């Protein structure tokens, strides 16, 4: 009797099935995927759905910081994973892993992107820039130098992502307003709360680059 009341209650809330039924169906779907061992993905530029085995390696060429890298990757590997684990570019940090904190921000064709939400195969043929790519030998780039001068970090974990967001902004807009700076780094979280220093660093970097 309690089961019937629960189902009826769920219908009154707008549910078409019970919570138990939903979990059962979801579990069935997960088992089916595990048994089949395959995923479905729609490749960029191709309207037809392609079937890919998740553990089959694909050969791609990534252009990172001006250098080509011929790699074998699984279709499900993120750009973040490949940058850190395959290429050893650990300046790009893994924070939340789901596109919420911005610690993994890199530039793809000069546009800030979350590396944790970008598949490595998606970045093939594009110009990828990480925080290491802003260095001139051992010399810090203008944005990196401004972050040091303005003390725009505390623990420093979010700093690479913050720097890349500011770098992306300045490549598009060399003379941004403070509101535009705030908007540019709005997708980057600083748990230490150094936002006022980050904004000052961005404004200082813009001024130095114009010189």
Q: How far apart are CA 164 and CA 123, in angstroms?
A: 17
Domains assigned to the chain: 58-210 (3.10.20.30)
Q: How confident is the model at residue 23 (pLDDT cuts 50, 70, 90)?
A: very low
CA dihedral (109, 110, 111, 112) positive or negative:
positive
Q: Roughly how many angstroms between the first and final C-alpha of the chain, as a whole number?
A: 77
Structure-block tokens of residue 85: 């684990």
pLDDT of residue 187: 97
Q: How confident is the model at residue 54 (pLDDT cuts 50, 70, 90)?
A: low
Q: What is the pLDDT of residues 93-128, one digit of tens each?
A: 999 999 999 999 999 999 999 999 999 999 999 999
Q: What is the pLDDT of residues 126-171, one digit of tens each?
A: 999 999 999 999 999 999 999 999 999 999 999 999 999 999 999 9
Buried b (16+ CB within 10 A) or exposed e, 45-82: eeeeeeebeeeeeeebebebbeeeeebebbbebbbbbb
């Amino acid at each position: 009797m309690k089961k019937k009341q629960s189902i009826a209650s769920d219908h009154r809330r707008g549910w078409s099935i019970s919570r138990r039924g939903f979990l059962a169906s979801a579990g069935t779907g997960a088992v089916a995927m595990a048994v089949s061992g395959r995923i479905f993905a729609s490749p960029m530029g191709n309207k037809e759905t392609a079937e890919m085995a998740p553990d089959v390696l694909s050969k791609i060429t990534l252009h990172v910081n001006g250098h080509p890298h011929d790699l074998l990757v699984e279709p499900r590997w993120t750009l973040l994973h490949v940058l850190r684990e395959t290429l050893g570019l650990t300046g790009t940090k893994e924070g939340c892993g789901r596109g919420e904190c911005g610690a993994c921000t890199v530039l793809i064709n000069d546009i800030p992107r979350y590396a944790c939400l970008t598949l490595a195969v998606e970045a093939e043929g594009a110009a990828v820039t990480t925080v290491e790519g802003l260095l001139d030998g051992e010399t810090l780039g203008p944005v990196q130098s401004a972050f040091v001068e303005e003390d725009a970090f505390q623990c420093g974990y979010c700093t690479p992502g913050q720097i890349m967001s500011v770098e992306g902004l300045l490549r598009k807009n060399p003379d941004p307003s403070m509101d535009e700076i705030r908007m540019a780094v709005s997708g980057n979280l600083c748990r230490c709360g150094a936002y006022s220093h980050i904004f000052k660093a961005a404004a200082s970097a813009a001024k130095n680059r114009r010189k």
